[in-house]
Structure 1
Amino acid sequence: MTVIDILTRVDTICKKYDVDKQRESNISGDNAFARLYGAFETQIETALKKAEIVTKEKNRASAVAMNAEIRRIKARLAEEVPKLQRLALKRVSFLSLLLYLSQ
């Protein structure tokens, strides 16, 4: 699974559960979903920056080491996708319940 695949899956989850509105309503990050999503964004950005650096790297040993680090980041992210999806589902269920009760 490439970084782009992981990014695509996370974006799909976010669009499906309307994450942007949730993030705006809970900027403080006091819930698990906001913290995990923030960590995801940071790790994806880091992996993409390192991948860009690797393409410009002249030293092959350094490039191999950075590629290995990128693979480890991708593996961690792939393991966390189901957790993010479960938290998003719980968060959306909670928000829909609040909206229902407020009407």
Structure 2
Amino acid sequence: MSHHRLFAQLAFERALGMAALNALAQAVAECDQFRAVGRERDPIHFWVLAGELEDVVQDRIRDVLDGPGLAVVERGELFHQPRIVELVIAARDARTAPS
């Protein structure tokens, strides 16, 4: 494999990882915003929607862990998003912990 092709493959994988991380950051922000604004809603409706948003966050975390996004986090490229790093690292550790 040529050096150019290898570089292009690495750049592509990094872009995929960043896309997954950006989707996770957006899901976390939307969940936080809903929780902050949604307290005035009907309690049952609020908790059902909050749970669904939390499921979306968990799905995005799995996307990061199952793809190249984890490598982006482990390389320290998300120093400006400590909460996202914390979520991903905690999920990684929980996944690899002996049961």
Q: TM-score, normalised by structure 1?
A: 0.44
Q: TM-score, normalised by structure 2?
A: 0.46
